[in-house]
Each structure stands twice: as C-alpha cells, then as structure tokens.
Amino acid sequence: MAILPTRRSLLAATTLAGFLPAIHLRPARSAEPQALRIPELIDARRQGQSVALRAQAGRTIFFPGGPASRTLGYNGSYLGPTIRVHRGDEVEVAVANALGVGTTVHWHGLLVPGPLDGGPHQMIAPGATWRPRLPIRQPAATLLYHSHVHGGTAEQVYAGLMGLLLVTDEEERALGLPFDYGVDDIPVVLQDRQFEEGVLVLPGGMPAMMLGRRGDTILANGTPDAVARPPAGLVRLRLANGANARLFDLSFEDGRAFHWIASEGGLLERPVPLRAIRLAPGERAEVLVDLSDGRPVALRTAPDTNLPMMGMMARMGGFAPNMTGEGQTVLRLEPRLTGQAAPARIPGRLVSRERSDPSQAVRRRRVALTMGMGMGGMMQGEMGGGMMGRRGIGGPGGAMGGMHGINGRPFEMGRIDARIRLGDVEIWEASGEMMAHPLHIHGVHFEVLGRDGGPADPRDQGLRDTVLVRGPTELLVRFTQPAPDHAPFMLHCHVLEHEDNGMMAQFVVA
Ligand code: C2O
Ligand code: CU
Ligand code: CU
C-alpha cells in the first residue's frame, strides 16, 4: 500500500449526498470586496423564550455575479442566525430537520445535561423536530451551534450547518462593552473553503481524512473578501474559528495591538493586550480593537502550517494552496467617521472568577489524540495494509471509519469510554500526535494548568471548552453537568474529519 497519495486522490472529491459537485479545476478567484454578511440576530427573550431553527438545503452565491453553490444552512442557505440567550432563562429551541438526511444540532460550549447537548446520540430524523429546553446557567460568552451527526459532521458543517450562540448577562452589560450587534459588536465566523469557478466544492480523498478539509478561500460569515464598516471607535469582534481543520493566526496588517477580553468560557478577569491571536477550529475569542483613528485596516491570517509530514506531499499535489506565502486577509475594517469619535476606553478589569484548585482533582486521565497513520504506527510498520486493512478503511477516497482514535482506540457509538462522578474535578493530560489537534470536551469548562511540564501560555488563561494540544497539556476539568448512558458527552478533536474518523470518545457523568 503506497504511502504517497496519488495526484488523483489528492484532487478527487466526494459528493455530499448530492449537495456538492466534485473538484475538476483550480479555482478562478475574484477579489471584489463584499460587505460582511451579518447573520440575523434572534434574541430568545424577545420571542417568549422560543426559537425556531430549520436545517435546510439551499443555494448560495458566494461571489458577486457568480454561480450558485448547493449549501446547507439553518433558516437560510448557508450558516444560521445568531441566537442570543440570557443567563437565568430557559429557552426552548425547536430544531426542524428539512435536510432529507439525519442531523443533530450541538450547542458547543453550552453547559447543559447530556440529553440536551445535541451530540451524535440526539439524532433528528428527516422531517422530525427536536425540542430541547435549554437552561442558561453560565456567564456571558460566545458559543457555537453546529451539526454533530455521527460520521457526517465534517460534510454537514463544511456545507454550512453552523451558527453562533451568544450568552449575555447583567455582569457583561454593566461593563459597557460594545454591544450593538452587527454595528460595534461584530460576529465573525471564520472558515476556509475550496471553490471551483465560484462553486463550493468538497475536497476528498486521503488528504481530507488526514489533514482535514481545507481550502484556499477564506470566508467571514460566508463572505469572501469581506469588508465591515463599523463606526470609528472601539469595536468588539467575536471571532470564531468555524473551519473544519485550519488554524487562523490572526493579526492586523499594521501590527496594531488589540485587547483579548473573552475566552471560550466567557470574559477574562482583565483585558490582555496582544498583537496576534491563534484560533483553532472550535475556538472563539472576543477582542476589542480601537478604530478611533478612522484608518482602514485588514485583519490577516498567517499561512496554514499545522501539518504533519503529509503536508509536504499534499503541497506538491496542489492541495490547500495557502500553506505557504504571505497569508491572507480575512476581514477588512473600514471605519466610518461619525464626527464624534471619542477615544476608546478599555475597561481595566472585567470580571472576577472563582478558580478551581488543582488539589481538588480526584484523578488523572491521559487523553492522546492519535492518528491512524501516526509515527507510532509507522515505526511499527503498521500503517499500510496493517492498520487500514484491520479497520476496514477502503483506502484513499474510500469510506471513512475508525482511522484515528483517542489513546489509539477509534470511536464507537456503543462503547462508553469513561465514567465520571458528577461534581468531580479531574486532571486530564492531553496530547496530540503528528500535528496540533484542537481537543474539545462537551458539557464542561476547563482550565489549562500547564504545557510540556511548564506553566501555561498567556493565551491559555480563562475557562475553555476547546484547546489546541500537541505536547502534554494539563487540563483541570470540572464536571457539573450530568450525562447518562443513553446521552453521554463527547470529547474529540475539532478537526472535523479527525472526529468523524474516530478521534472521539464518550463519557457519562453521574
Ligand atoms: Cu463543536 Cu463536539 O463539537
Ligand atoms: Cu461541544
Ligand atoms: Cu485532530
């Protein structure tokens, strides 16, 4: 069995239940600036705590004057509305599945019991409606919702099934942070996608399974070459990495500093001045950027470098062309001078949070995110026919299954991998094989205690639900939500192709 993927397999594409066509040619890029699309805001309180979502197929024109692509969305053709919920409320969401295939909707980062979580066990059959009542019991934060259907998450999310879920509370409002949705409080879902002649296509084959699907075009809320025109002043960006696999290493083209104010779990204790911020798939960061000088500025990402040795071969094959070079613009900000631009005021303190004490931890667990073609496997000569044959993978472009794993074991829907006591605190030692992997854990917030035996990075502070790991990373995890055997929580790599191909495990909390 050849290690090197053939050119055919590099460029081959599979079709998503007929939604997306196969790849034929290299894309023709237009670089016409377009206004950043702002997803509709649904505030649950303004609608009697009831929100309706409909997962549906549609057609989306990504480039002005270009062709329509077949896409998926919630209440629209690509992505979904932004849902705002208030701490202390209880919100019923009715999720109707009009896709014609099964789906689920997972509330990524929301602390709710297992049966409400929307993971692979809460399947919504075609034509059915799922009605979880979500108790909102956590501080203000920027969360996601997205498809989490077993084995098909990567394709459904790639095609558009993702949206933002914002939690707000009194504590956040009292700080006077920018809060005018779409004006000075701007949602930015970042994704990379591959297009052919303006049509969204689904990369397939072995590189997709190994590296995750990546593309040469960056979308912000589904908009390529996006431009936002906020008022000159202090602007809050809610950055969410909604890509299937790629990291975004974000900075402003003029090198200006900005303030990081919220991690995945919500506001930090104080704003952290940064000049660059890395966001892995599933991660979010809220930042404040001072645009009071009125000068336009581009938010850029560095090239995509999170690749195992496969990446070199993939590059030769023309896969994911933005791995090298200068990086790309993800969003241009063109401030509107409104005449009374007051100099921006950044609050000195944000919130105080109770920290967990590592000495409360009752046990340690090792969580290694392992790749089927990992170095371990290669050195034991297990890679080719061995591992792949044994696990029934059809080879490049073939059916995906349990190629990757957690601690070497591919995910199985019927197997509970850990049983945890409700209320316990544990230390998890996470690591990633061959490349950095974004580990996401359902139903919890955790803190990063340290990396590689040393202290945590400044970017590790705050409560999180997703963290990028490579070397050994210690997490302090508190289990506050119950999850029974029939509705366990997932822990997985948020490279969605890794998740779909076995890099996931499940645990019950009782
Ligand atoms: Cu955002 Cu288990 O996923
Ligand atoms: Cu999640
Ligand atoms: Cu991974």
The Cβ-side half-sphere exposure at 194, using a 13 Å CA radius, reads: 28
Please check the confidence at residue 387 and state whether its pLDDT lies above 80: no
Q: Give start and end residues of each alpha helix (H) in 75-179.
A: 153-159, 170-174
CB 45 within 8 A of CB 432: no
- Give me the pLDDT at residue 252, please: 98
Q: What 3-state DSSP class applies to 283? A: coil
pLDDT band at 337 (very low <50, low <70, confident <90, very high): confident
The answer to whether the 10-170 and 358-509 domains have the same CATH topology is yes
> What is the 109 CA–ligand 2 centroid distance (Å)?
5
Atom of ligand 1 nearest to the CA of 282: 1
Topology adopted by domain 10-170 = Immunoglobulin-like (2.60.40)
What one-character-per-residue DSSP string does 103-132 give? Answer: B--EEET----GGGS-STTS-B-TT-EE--
Mean pLDDT over 27-42 rounds to 83
> Residue-wise over 113-126: b if at least 16 C-beta within 10 A, else e?
bbebbbbbbbbbee
Atom of ligand 1 nearest to the CA of 146: 1
> What is the 500 CA–ligand 3 centroid distance (Å)?
10
Distance CA 443, CA 464 (A): 11
> What is the 495 CA–ligand 3 centroid distance (Å)?
5
Residue pointed to by tokens 């049509």: 199
> What is the 156 CA–ligand 1 centroid distance (Å)?
13
More confident residue, 97 or 345: 97
Please check the confidence at residue 420 and state whether its pLDDT lies above 60: yes
Ligand nearest to the CA of 153: 1
pLDDT tens digit sequence for 258-301: 999 999 999 999 999 999 999 999 999 999 999 999 999 999 99
* Choices 3.30.1330.10, 3.30.420.40, 2.60.120.380, 2.60.40.420: CATH for 185-333: 2.60.40.420
Distance CA 331, CA 225 (A): 7
Please check the confidence at residue 441 and state whether its pLDDT lies above 50: yes
> What is the 259 CA–ligand 2 centroid distance (Å)?
26
How wide is the angle at C-alpha 301 spanned by C-alphas 455 and 454, nearest 5°? Answer: 10
Hey, which residues does 428 pair with through a beta bridge? Answer: 365, 475
Distance CA 238, CA 283 (A): 11
Distance CA 106, CA 146 (A): 5
Q: What is the pTM of this model?
A: 0.90
Rounded-to-10 torsion of CA 338, 344, 349, 355: 70
120 lines ligand 1 (CB under 6 A): no
Atom of ligand 1 nearest to the CA of 492: 2
| Domain 358-509 belongs in CATH node 2.60.40.420 | yes
Number of H helices, E strands in the chain: 8, 35
| Amino acid type, 422 | L
Mean pLDDT over 432-449 rounds to 97
CB 89 within 8 A of CB 45: yes
Q: Please state the separation of Cα 5 from the chain's center in Å.
A: 27
- Give me the pLDDT at residue 355, please: 83
What one-character-per-residue DSSP string does 145-200 give? Answer: EE---TTTHHHHHHHT-EEEEEEE-HHHHHTT----BTTTEEEEEEEEEEEETTEE
Ligand nearest to the CA of 111: 2
Q: Give start and end residues of each alpha helix (H) in 106-264.
A: 153-159, 170-174, 205-211
Question: What is the maximal distance between C-alpha atoms in the chain?
Answer: 69
Structure tokens that stand for 7 in this block: 């050119």
Ligand nearest to the CA of 498: 3
More confident residue, 208 or 94: 94
Distance CA 231, CA 340 (A): 10
Q: Minimum mean pLDDT among 69-83, 197-211, 272-286: which range? A: 197-211
498 lines ligand 1 (CB under 6 A): no
Structure tokens that stand for 307 in this block: 């690749």
pLDDT tens digit sequence for 156-175: 999 999 999 999 999 999 99
Nearest to 121 by CA among 154, 149, 92: 149
106 lines ligand 1 (CB under 6 A): yes
> What is the 487 CA–ligand 2 centroid distance (Å)?
13
Binning the chain into helix, strand and coil, the percentages to the nearest 5 are: 15, 40, 50
> Residue-wise over 445-467: b if at least 16 C-beta within 10 A, else e?
bbbbbbbeeeebeebbbbbbbbb
108 lines ligand 1 (CB under 6 A): yes
Mean pLDDT over 213-235 rounds to 96
Distance CA 431, CA 374 (A): 13
Please check the confidence at residue 51 and state whether its pLDDT lies above 60: yes
* Residues having C-beta closer than 5 Å to ion ligand 3: 437, 493, 495, 498
Structure tokens that stand for 483 in this block: 């999850």
Mean pLDDT over 212-222 rounds to 96
> What is the 282 CA–ligand 1 centroid distance (Å)?
7
Ligand nearest to the CA of 104: 1
Distance CA 373, CA 403 (A): 8
Residue 101 CB neighbour total at 10 angstroms: 17
Domain ranges of the chain: 10-170, 185-333, 358-509
282 lines ligand 1 (CB under 6 A): yes
Residue nearest to atom 3 of ligand 1 (CA): 108
- Give me the pLDDT at residue 309, please: 61
CB 239 within 8 A of CB 250: yes
Distance CA 237, CA 229 (A): 13
491 lines ligand 1 (CB under 6 A): no
Mean pLDDT over 10-31 rounds to 44
> What is the 174 CA–ligand 3 centroid distance (Å)?
39
> What is the 352 CA–ligand 3 centroid distance (Å)?
33
Please check the confidence at residue 481 and state whether its pLDDT lies above 50: yes
- Give me the pLDDT at residue 373, please: 60
Q: How far is CA 9 from CA 26, 96, 205, 209, 318, in A?
A: 15, 36, 5, 11, 11
Structure tokens that stand for 293 in this block: 């000088």
121 lines ligand 1 (CB under 6 A): no
> Residue-wise over 357-373: b if at least 16 C-beta within 10 A, else e?
eeeebeeebebbbbbbb
146 lines ligand 1 (CB under 6 A): yes
> What is the 498 CA–ligand 3 centroid distance (Å)?
5
> What is the 23 CA–ligand 3 centroid distance (Å)?
24
Structure tokens that stand for 270 in this block: 């104080």
Ligand nearest to the CA of 162: 1
442 lines ligand 1 (CB under 6 A): yes
pLDDT band at 398 (very low <50, low <70, confident <90, very high): very low
> What is the 446 CA–ligand 3 centroid distance (Å)?
19
DSSP label at 3?
A: S
Structure tokens that stand for 324 in this block: 């090298």
- Give me the pLDDT at residue 323, please: 60
Q: Please state the separation of Cα 122 from the chain's center in Å.
A: 20
Nearest to 367 by CA among 212, 444, 475: 475
Based on its alpha-carbon atoms, the radius of gyration of the chain, rounded to whole angstroms, reads 22
pLDDT band at 305 (very low <50, low <70, confident <90, very high): confident
Please check the confidence at residue 341 and state whether its pLDDT lies above 80: no
pLDDT band at 12 (very low <50, low <70, confident <90, very high): very low
Atom of ligand 1 nearest to the CA of 490: 2
Residue nearest to atom 1 of ligand 1 (CA): 108
148 lines ligand 1 (CB under 6 A): yes
Ligand nearest to the CA of 120: 1
Question: 211 φ, ψ to 5°?
Answer: -95, -15
> What is the 507 CA–ligand 3 centroid distance (Å)?
19
Ligand nearest to the CA of 284: 1
Atom of ligand 1 nearest to the CA of 108: 1
